[in-house]
Amino acid sequence: MAFAVNVAKARLKRNELSIGIGIRLVRNVDIVKVMKAAGFDWLFIDLEHGSMSIETACEIAITAQDSGITPIVRVPYGELTMATRVLDGGALGIVIPHVDTPEEAKQIADKLRYPPRGHRSVGGGQAQFDYAPLPLGEMTAKSDDNTLITVMIETPKAVENAEAIAAVPGIDCLLVGSSDLSMEMGIPGDTGNPKVQAAVDKVIAACKKHGKWPGMGGAYTEELLQLYTGKGMRFLLAGNDLPMLTAAARVHQAKVRAFQK
């Protein structure tokens, strides 16, 4: 039986760095093989920001399964029904933004995990298994084990509650959204600020205590990526398609323009 391996989760289980790339601008399946060729482990398919449709997200997710790069989808805040739909449609992981309390985390785990761990509804055959007609208990158990559930820590309140959030069964990762966190702290964009670093340290400690994986997004310079990886971040969103494309294009055109004498 074919089974889509969650590469991102497998790396985390081996305590290896699991590196993702944000997909917001590009809305076709070609981006999957491009980012696989670039060496990324997972795609951060973004339905919170931008205008990508759920249909496009699921097409990208199914292509990613067959390409050996893990499709992980961020849905808008509170959209747990959308989250279960993209899981049914091929995603191997979900990211829920703006989670401030353990009560919110418990609700997320309850809605996104199958019984007996939660109360996710069963939608029938899944692309993860090539739509094979499996016994229901076998399919849901394997699907649950293969799914990576991540909550984002993006406010000082969430940081204060990090240990309680990390203690919630069914949550796999706590991902610090450093851009929004810096905004909430009154230091917009200063993702290397000592206040952000202290918050990161607290989240990492909470994850270690409760057997969860710490993650981060929003800090994309080489210096900051090295800093936070050194602190213990393992689930790392290393950039996004739009700024990477823009930066590479800008550098190349500047080099070519410099040839004129």
Nearest Cα to Cα of residue 92 among 22, 155, 45: 45
Q: Is 252 a known active-site residue? A: no
Q: According to DSSP H, which parts of the chain are helical?
A: 7-13, 30-37, 54-67, 80-88, 102-112, 136-146, 156-160, 162-166, 178-184, 194-210, 222-231, 241-257
Q: Could you give the CA distance from residue 158 to residue 181 in angstroms, rounded to a whole number? A: 9
Q: Could you give the CA distance from residue 185 to residue 132 in angstroms, rounded to a whole number? A: 49
Contact between 141 and 117 under an 8 Å Cβ cutoff? The reply is no
Per-residue buried b or exposed e for 109-126, using 16+ beta carbons within 10 Å of the residue's own CB: bbbbbbeeebebeeeeeb
- Return the DSSP state at 129: G
Contact between 214 and 207 under an 8 Å Cβ cutoff? The reply is yes
Contact between 233 and 216 under an 8 Å Cβ cutoff? The reply is yes
Q: In DSSP terms, which residues pair with 23 in a beta bridge? A: 45
CA 143-57-134 angle, 5° bins: 25
Q: Which amino acid is at 23?
A: I
Active-site entry in 49, 98, 119, 210: 49
Hey, which residues are catalytic here? Answer: 49
